[in-house]
Every structure is written in structure tokens, then in C-alpha cells.
Amino acid sequence: MRIVCPFCGERELGEFTYLGDARPVRPAAGSSEDEVFDYVYLRDNVAGPMSEYWYHGGGCRAWLKVARNTLTHEISSVEPAAGVGAAKVGA
Amino acid sequence: MAEFSWIARSPLEHALVVGAHGARGTEAGVWLTEIRNFDLIQVMARRGKTAELAKAAQARFGVAAPETPKAVRVPDATLIWSGPDQFLVLSNAGKHAIEPLSQAFSQSASLSDQSHARVLISVSGEKARSMLAKLSSLDLHPAAFPVGTAAATSVDHTSINLWRGNDWPDGQAVFNLLVFATFAGSLWHTMLDAAAEYGVDIRHSEELA
């Protein structure tokens, strides 16, 4: 599997580290215990298209958001995760 | 308080043995040269200050800092892309050391002095690309990696900054790589092993190519 880093270009899998599901959003302060528990611990075991965080630690050290099909490993999009690069903060 | 006298030493002081290594009998296929005594400053744009950094870099160096994986040469420094909104400034003789650059980028960037944190190795020779092909997954063919191309990548599980400098007058390609000081010995031995079959000419120098 290869990932096309938006900063570096196409690179081998060995340069990247997998973090996990990019969908969970941190619940607002004061959310219920169930919502926080869900956010921290509960993950879907997706068979098909999934949005994931990957870290290009062996290259430009940017965090990436990758849309990948977990059945075929087909990658449909790669974009910088929020906060990558000073220019993209808040964008 | 005790007085210390610091002596700058290369992390390759013991690993690097000047002379020939590996196959003999023909001209060395790979030239490995460690470049010592350089200034290396990491420049990273502060939040929302990318445009200011670009202006400050233009004012300081007379060229735009690289925004894509490139290495840009100016007469007394090389600016090497190292990631989004960041680059390395390589120079020597204090021309672009941490003090003058801190002034130049005080409003736009955070700086980190990497001069003694990295080892700079220059790889050239007829078989340089064959040797690097054993270690790197990048395509270093001139068509894909022309002069001035840079990459933040990994070789032998070690992060490096790699860029292609100007060719030697005889047309040989020059690949420069920066590696973390504590990983330099390991990478050095890996490169010696990879290059042994071609014959290696080992040197060190203080001249930035």
C-alpha cells in the first residue's frame, strides 16, 4: 500500500503510522458520561470506506486524513488533517 | 561552578575511516564525504505567519524559501524544504547561524539550532544511485529527482532529509543527506555495506558543496 502525501508525494507504507478512525469528535464540556465513554473507547469495525488519521512520521511529520476502503485498501483521498502547517490552522 | 571547555566532535569521528573501503582494483564507484562544521537552523512558521515568513526569507536570502520539496541555493546558504511551512538553512562560517537568523525571523518563525544535532553526508560517484536504491524507496533517477529536488524520507528506518545538490563538473550527481547525530553511525555502516561491492572512497571535508 502506498499513500500520496499531499506534501511529499507518493510514499511507501513504512513511512506512515496509523492512528485510527478520524470521525469521532470530542464531546463538548459537560457532555454525559456515556458520550465521553463512546468518544474515548468505542470504535466501529468498518468494512468498507473509512476516514482515518495517518502520521507521516518517516517523512514530513504531517498528520493526514485518509479516506480508505478497508476491504480493498483503495485510497480515494488524502488531505492534511486540521492544524497541519501554520498556514492551515483554523482553515 | 566548574568551567567547561566544549570541543565540537563529529558523531562519525570513530566510524569514519578516511580512505578506500570495499571492492578494490577499479576506481571507487561511491564517494562518501562527511561535511563537518556547518550551521543548520530549522525555521518553522508560527501560527498564521506563513506570509510574514515568506517575506522575511525573501528579504534575508533574496529568494523565496521552498514551499515544495526543493532545495534552493543562494551564494552563502542552502534552503532545504523539510515539511509544510518549514525549512532548514544550511550555511557555514556563522553567516546564517542562530543569532542573525533569530533577528531576521523574530516576527514570523520559531527557530531551532540543529548544527550539532545532525550529520551531513554527501554521496556521489558513478554508483551512488545504485547504492541509494538499496536503502531508499524513492526514485532518484534524474528524470524524477532532478538537481534541487529535496525529500523528507526514511532510509533504513531512519528519518533523513535528502536533496540533490549541483552536479560535479564531470556530471556526477551529488546526493546530500542530513541524519540525526545519534543515528549517523548506524546509517554510515549501512551505507558502507551497501556500497562495498562498488568500492568506496571515504573522506571528510569542511566545504559545503
**What domains, with CATH codes, occur in chain A?**
2-88 (3.30.2270.10)
Average pLDDT over residues B143-154: 97
CATH of the domain at B102: 3.30.70.1400
Average pLDDT over residues B100-124: 96
Are residues B103 and B131 both part of a single domain? Answer: no
B59 dihedral zone (left: phi>0; alpha: psi -120 to 50; beta): alpha
- Nearest CB partner across the interface for B69, out of A8, A12, A14: A8
Does the beta-carbon distance from B48 to A90 stay under 8 Å?
yes
Query: Sorting pLDDT into bands at 50, 70 and 90, what band is B6?
Result: confident
Contact between residue A3 and residue A57 where contact means Cβ atoms under 8 Å apart = no
Residue B143 forms part of a structural domain: yes
Are residues B155 and B182 both part of a single domain? Answer: yes
User: Full-prediction pTM beyond 0.80?
Assistant: yes
CA-to-CA dists, residue A66 to A3, A15, B22, B77, B155, angstroms: 8, 14, 44, 36, 24
Given this model, what pLDDT does residue A85 score?
58
How many folded domains does chain B comprise? 2
- Nearest CB partner across the interface for A86, out of B82, B85, B151: B85
The verdict on B116 touching A (C-beta cutoff 8 Å) is no
C-alpha cell at B79: 534552503
Residue A89, pLDDT above cutoff 80: no
The verdict on B47 touching A (C-beta cutoff 8 Å) is yes
Residue A64, pLDDT above cutoff 70: yes
Rounded to an integer, what distance in angstroms lies between the CA atom of residue A32 and that of residue A14? 39
Domain region containing B77: 39-113
Domain boundary among B63, B83, B113: B113
Average pLDDT over residues A40-48: 95
Query: Sorting pLDDT into bands at 50, 70 and 90, what band is B3?
Result: confident
ipTM, 2 decimals?
A: 0.88
Does the beta-carbon distance from A12 to B137 stay under 8 Å?
yes
The verdict on B52 touching A (C-beta cutoff 8 Å) is no
